[in-house]
Amino acid sequence: MDGGQSLPPIRRQLAQALIESGAKPLHVAKEVKCSLATVYNYKENIRLFGHTLAPSISRIGRPPVFTVEMLDVCPFILLFF
């Protein structure tokens, strides 16, 4: 089974092709050798995003010191930092 980790790209593509062709989730799980939960997650991701993996939207690191509004008001502020 899947084990909580992402499937290799070739198996994800196979799962996507089977899901888009209308195959039953149990058939997809057996063919791709993953859990039913993975198939349902992939099915939902395909419906929402068009691909088996959801896009990464997390921001990494500290937030910027100057906001966009601050730079709009005073664009030369970056010259001093």
Instruction: Locate the domains of the chain by residue range.
Output: 1-55
Where does 1-55 sit in CATH, by number? 1.10.10.10
With 0.75 as the threshold, say if the pTM is over it.
Answer: no
Show the tokens assigned to 43: 């099915």
The H-assigned helical ranges of 1-81 are: 9-20, 25-32, 36-49, 68-73
The two counts, helices (H) then strands (E), for the chain are: 4, 0
pLDDT 10s digits, 17-58: 999 999 999 999 999 999 999 999 999 999 999 999 988 887
